[in-house]
Each structure stands twice: as structure tokens, then as C-alpha cells.
Amino acid sequence: MDINKAKKMNAEELLVYVFEEFGEKIAIASSFGVEDMVLIDMASRLISKPRVFTLDTGRLPQETYELMERVREKYNLQIDIYFPDREEVEEMVRKYGPNLFFKSVELRKLCCHIRKVNPLRRALSNLSAWICGLRREQSITRSGIEKVELDTANGGIWKINPLADWTSAQVWDYIKKNSVPYNSLHDKGYPSIGCLPCTRAVKPGEDIRAGRWWWESPEHKECGLHEGGRR
């Protein structure tokens, strides 16, 4: 892959390029936020049957499952769903309780690791690249992301962020113009949606990630899925 060439491409050009480059060895990782919905819609217009996977932590809002069904029907896509290991979850909850994430940053990250990071590694185990909806504008922890990165945390595969330089306004403009389905929680003040207990609506003027793990300081607000290297 020509990294310098790829970094200069717009989102549509980059999607076509990486799907041609990696074929069946690349997939869109979706949590069904608006950025992921842009990528699914865009890829479905450009590529026949793009691969899509998601991580079901077991603590997702019902609205997310409803959107997942709409996506399956509208785009006629198979969505590969990865669940956490049952024994790991049972041991964690037995030891720390079902709401351990409120007790400390370390326990919250443990929960994320078992429910998200480990399933992600299984999802990526047979891929050469994965596509994410990360944007630099989303949070302080994402301000330096590139459109193309080497993901050292996941075996050195490629991580593609076609919307890295998009603004929130651009995302919503695409959603509205193309009648893309989205999570109904967005209309209730939830700009960023994750697990139900760890997500709340934000107040006017608050940061778009303020509703995720709101009891923690901003520099801690990642779940471990996006802690790979850069290139």
C-alpha cells in the first residue's frame, strides 16, 4: 500500500483503494455511531457487500440493536458479531461486581478489555486491515490520528480512518443528504454511544465525548480499542 498516496485521498477514494488493496482481508468495525453509519453507507455505494463486524459487549442499549437490524435490512449486509468470553465475564463480575467500571479507571479499563479488546483481537485475527470511524475532532485522545496508521497493538495490521479530517457537521450533512439510518439516541442528546451504563446524554456546550465515562477525566476516555501505534 502506498501510504503517502492513501493519506491524500478523500474518504470515498480511500475506501475504494483499501478494499481493492486488501479484498476479503479488510472489514469495517462498527459500533453503529454516526461515523460508522457514514462508512457503511459509503462503502455499500462503492463496493459490493463490504465486510462489517461489531462487538456486542452484552451491555448495549436496545436502540443500538434496533439500528443493527435496520442496517442488515437496508444494506442487505451480514454483520459479524463478536461476543466477550463467557468465563472471563463471569470471573470479572464475580470478583468485582456488575458495576465495577464506576469504582476506578483501572477496573473500567478491565471491563472494556474483557468486553471489547479481547473480542476485537479475535475479529482482527484473520484481517490485514480494519476501517474505523475515528475523527480528530472527537476528543483530545484522538487529535493526532492519521487516515492510515500501523496498528501495533493488533499485530501490525493497517488501521484506516477515512473520516479522520471530517467535522461533526460534515458527518451529519452526509447522514441527512443520503437518508442514512442512525441511532435514535442521537436525537435525545447522545452524540457518542457505547455501553448503556457508561453513556449519558450531554448538556448544550459540552464536549461530544463528555457523555462517555463522564466520571473520568478526558485523558482517560478510551476503552483500549484504539491504542495502537502511528505511522
Of 111, 112, 198, 223, which is the active-site residue? 223
The beta strands (E) that lie in 31-92 are given as 52-55, 79-82
Transcribe 118-133 into DSSP letters.
Answer: HHHHHHHTT-SEEE--
| 223 in active site | yes
Task: For residue 61, give the H/E element and its range.
Answer: none
Contacts 24+ apart (CB under 8 A), 211-214: 213/101, 213/108
Nearest to 54 by CA among 227, 225, 230, 229: 225
How far, in Å, CA of 179 to CA of 119, rounded? 31
Strand runs labelled E in 93-156: 129-131, 148-151
Nearest to 115 by CA among 91, 90, 84, 94: 84
| Rounded Cα–Cα distance for residues 47 and 49 (Å) | 6
Known catalytic residues?
223
